[in-house]
Amino acid sequence: MSHELIDEAAPSERVAVPAMRREVPPTKRGEAALVTAHVTAPVTALRPAPLRRAPRVAIVHDWLVTYAGAERVLEQIIACFPDADLFAVVDFVDEKDRAFLHGKQVTTSFIQKLPFAREKYRTWLPLMPLAIEQLDVSAYDVVISSSHAVAKGVLTGPDQFHLSYVHSPIRYAWDLQHQYLNESNLTRGPKSALARLILHYIRNWDVRTANSVDQFVANSQFIARRIRKVYQREAQVVYPPVDIDAFELETQKDDFYLTASRLVPYKKIDLIVEAFARMPERRLVVIGDGPDMGKVRAKAAPNVEIMGYQSFAVLRERMQRAKAFVFAAEEDFGISVVEAQACGTPVIAYGKGGALETVRDIASDSVRPTGLFFAEQRAEAIIAAVDAFEREPGRFRAEDCRANAMRFSTAQFREQLFARVAQAVPEIAMRDVARVAPARGEQADAAAVRALRVLAIDQSGVLGGAELSLLEVVKGLRARIEVLLFNDGPFRKALAAAGARVDVLDSGALQNVRRDGGAAPRLGVLAGVASLVRETRRRARDADVLYANTQRAMVIGVLAGRLARKPVVWHLRDIVSEAHFGRAQRAIIKMCAKYGLAQVIANSHASAAAFEQLTGFDARRIEVVHNGVDEAPFIALKDATQKQLREQTGLPADAFLVGAFSRLAHWKGQHVLLEAVRRDTRMHAVLVGAPLFGEDAYAAELRAFVDAHDLSGRVHFLGFRHDIAACMRAVDVIAHTSITPEPFGRVVVEGMLAERPVVASRDGGVTEIVEHGESGLLCTPGDAAELATTLASLHDDAALRARLVAQGLERARARFGKVQYVEAVERVLKDVATHSR
């Protein structure tokens, strides 16, 4: 059956930002100043002293009697922390259904042995606050409670971190009390008085125990608002895990509607059946069983097929084939709504609760709606919604429904939950087993996963394209990877937010080493490099493989790897040619390739070819892995109008805007775009990014050009921005104007995911992303006249823009997704580590 329950939104982003450096004390002449900065992001004002051992973790659940929505969440929490111990008020899960507990023994309370506890455990609700307080978790450093009733009330001390994942504050004790009393026939009499007294006691206890929680995590914004109302506490949102992979996309639909749920009063299945009984020309299929079965059957008409309980295979098949899924409950989240969308099936839902966060409504001006809402739980409202759906069937695409559902995958849940714990307790990332483990049914070599230890190295503290790509790898490998940076800055903060373990060797050794320089490094630089090598070697002792993300980091990694006898993998994100690297740097790259690199991952065939040509490196040890880009930030903005985004970013409302997104550097070619805009007065240019690496002179040249040609009203310098997705969706066209070959072109993929037509230079890795005339348009690098003509064609042809957007989005999703990217990098690292042992 489908399962109901429990969300959070989009990561922030970048474009290159000037490096942030801290002042460090003087050191011996020529030696780098080494300052270790361990990532910590305390959730509470006072954090316990750092642990000198792996933290012990306890997981506390309300009660274990079945495998439903809350238990699906519990399953993934256990997957994040597989060595944790498990506690619950009672445990009556049948032996055949215990797979989701991963073989764990459960410590239970005294209610486990009370009379009739197995059949009527809810009868003992008045004793559950006392029972949960008797579970002894004092020996644990981290306590994670999965709570929709009493689990959050477990007793913890000042040196323990307690994170409570709240499916809901106790519904029947708070805003749903009167509904509960009505449905239980407890509206008057002695039993009613006793029930009200018990619920009053539970409310007082519930509020008091909220003070023992260090951090609340809600399953939706709806529940976060309920937490704020009840406990006066803020909650972060992590949407519950939905097994998206268990539901396959189906674009061909049959002529019937589907609803599926346990047949209980608040699900309102009888209301849906009543509505369809009044629409005899439309067929409804009902899957599910429960106390309301009699009421549902009594309202059914010949056009309503009631199938009762069905296997998962039958449920999935009906979800895939249904023209729409109908949902009338006010749920905290509503997993079945997401499951339907994972099948490519749009949703007709009651417009309250979690559905507002999981369905993109056709009435919100979304360009990719996945359903529509009705405002009242009445048969008439459902009939009107179905009529509205029938009038515009072409507005709902199965692919859009599937893409929206991907926001709620099990991988997203594990990644976000682990990050929140690691932010508060950085030592959690040191655990050998504290990793995001594969979900049930995923194929993985568990022994190899546990054994893999990766030390990632990056020279930069800024958030450029290489760093964003490494960030995705770090999120995917989680506690199996440590990161070593040679400069502090925003990148370190982004790693912290992802729950990564990171050290910063804040060194000036590489500060003045430019990759386009021709001279050999000076003696002082070499002394500083020696310090970096020494510190990197020390950290490499516990690693199986060193993973260098940038060229200068690769050099340090190769030297440290030779000393530590560890293999080194270089993720090549540059075209190693004269246009990008000086003579000395190219010579160093050749030497490293000959003596120190075990494997090279290239971000494009263009990068791989240039590297092989320069070094003669064995082509069998070069693997091309195109960068993966996370679509989540763009999906999160689907319902935001362009007008709203322009107001937010301070851009003109009615202009035709052409955006360029990269650091301000001559080879990035922003001057070409400015010249093209000068030629066509209908165009505005939006430059997002800041100068880096001594490129301030170029930024000044751009501003001087604008002033000299009186373009200040049509050129908008936005500088460094975190809200890249919003900026991209605010413009009309995205231009990528590099005048020398681009190694990959991450911005091009981002533009496709932002659903904007892309114009890019015809060179380098970009030609592996864009199919000219299909998923974007290509121009001769540096040719402003051709660029102006191309932009004019997009300005004049809305149909062309729409076609490029649709095909660009499809290509970006199919070839440059985050998941396949991380999996490919991990496979290479594991292969290298395995063969080097």
Give the tens place of pLDDT for each residue, 538-579. Answer: 999 889 999 999 999 999 999 999 999 999 999 999 999 887
What are the phi and psi torsion angles at 325 (to 5°)? -105, 130
Structure tokens at 736: 């990528």
pLDDT band at 395 (very low <50, low <70, confident <90, very high): confident
- What is the percent of the chain with per-residue pLDDT over 70, rounded to a whole number? 87
- What average pLDDT does the structure give for the chain? 85
Q: The tokens of 445 are what?
A: 């070599």
Calculate mean pLDDT across residues 138-154: 94
What's the rounded Cα separation, in Å, for the pair 219 and 570? Answer: 39
Q: What's the pLDDT band for 288 if we cut at 50, 70, 90?
A: very high
Q: What is the three-state SS of 45-69?
A: CCCCCCCCCCCCEEEEECCECCCCH
Cβ neighbors of 468 (< 8 A, separation 6 or more) are: 13, 14, 746
Given this chain, do its domains 57-237 and 244-408 carry the same CATH topology? yes
In the beta sheet, which residues pair with residue 258? 285, 325
What pLDDT was estimated at residue 522? 57
pLDDT of res. 52 = 61
**Under a CB-based contact definition with an 8 Å cutoff, are residues 605 and 624 in contact?**
yes
- The highest-level CATH class for domain 244-408 is alpha beta
Helix (H, G, I), strand (E, B) or coil at 711: coil
Please give the pLDDT value at position 48: 58
**Angle, CA 714 vertex, CA 713 and CA 720 arms, to 5°:** 100
Top-tier CATH class for 57-237: alpha beta
Specify the CATH architecture of the domain 632-816.
Answer: 3-Layer(aba) Sandwich (3.40)
3-state helix, strand, coil in the chain (%, to 5): 45, 15, 40
Residue 611: which of 570, 643, 663, 670 has the closest Cα?
Answer: 570
From residue 348, alpha-carbon distances to 278, 494, 526 in Å are 17, 38, 66
The DSSP symbol for 455 reads E
- Smallest CA-to-CA distance from 325 within 405, 223, 407 is with 405
pTM of the model: 0.54
Residue 590, judged by CB atoms within 10 A of its CB (0-12, 13-18, 19+), counts as: middle
Packed helices 583-595 and 605-615: angle between N→C axes, nearest 10 degrees: 90
Q: How confident is the model at residue 15 (pLDDT cuts 50, 70, 90)?
A: very low
Question: Tell me, what DSSP letter sits at residue 441?
Answer: T
- Judged on CB neighbours under 10 Å (0-12, 13-18, 19+), 176 is middle
Q: How confident is the model at residue 332 (pLDDT cuts 50, 70, 90)?
A: confident
Kind plus residue range of the DSSP H or E element containing 380? helix 379-391
Residue spans per domain, the chain: 57-237, 244-408, 445-628+820-836, 632-816
Instruction: Please give the average per-residue pLDDT across 178-200, as a whole number.
Output: 81
**Separation between Cα atoms, residue 400 and residue 799, nearest integer Å:** 20
- Rounded Cα distance between 366 and 641, Å, is 8
Size of the chain in residues: 837
* Average pLDDT over every residue of 766-777: 95
Tokens linked to 114? 């009370």
SS3 661: strand
Taking each helix axis from N to C terminus, what angle separates 490-497 and 465-477, rounded to the nearest 10 degrees? Answer: 20
The residue among 56, 107, 106, 63 whose CA lies nearest residue 84 is 56
Categorize the per-residue pLDDT at 363 as very low, low, confident or very high, splitting at 50, 70 and 90: confident
Give the model's confidence band at 713: pLDDT under 50 very low, under 70 low, under 90 confident, else very high: very high
**What tens digit of pLDDT does each residue of 57-87 get?**
999 999 999 888 889 899 999 988 988 999 9
> Is residue 481 scored above 90 in pLDDT?
no
Q: What number of other Cβ atoms are within 10 A of residue 541's Cβ?
A: 11
Q: How far apart are the C-alpha atoms of 437 and 446, rounded to whole Å?
A: 8
Alpha helices in 99-214 (DSSP H): 128-133, 177-183, 190-209
Record the tokens describing residue 400, joined without a space: 């859009």
* Residue whose C-alpha is closest to residue 692's, from 659, 722, 662: 662
Residue in this structure with the two tokens 């630089």, named with its chain if needed: 525
Least confident residue range of 297-306, 355-364, 499-508, 591-600:
499-508
Measured CA distances, 193 to 179, 197, 200, 699, 710 (Å): 15, 6, 11, 74, 79
Number of alpha carbons in the 13 Å side-chain half-sphere of residue 775: 22
8-state DSSP, 4: -
Q: Domain 445-628+820-836 adopts which CATH fold? A: Rossmann fold (3.40.50)
Residue 508 is predicted with a pLDDT of 59
Q: Report d(CA 593, CA 618) in Å as an integer.
A: 10
Q: Identify the pLDDT of residue 120.
A: 86
- Going by their DSSP bridges, the two strands 85-88 and 106-107 should be labelled as parallel
- Going by pLDDT thresholds of 50, 70 and 90, the confidence category of residue 111 is very high
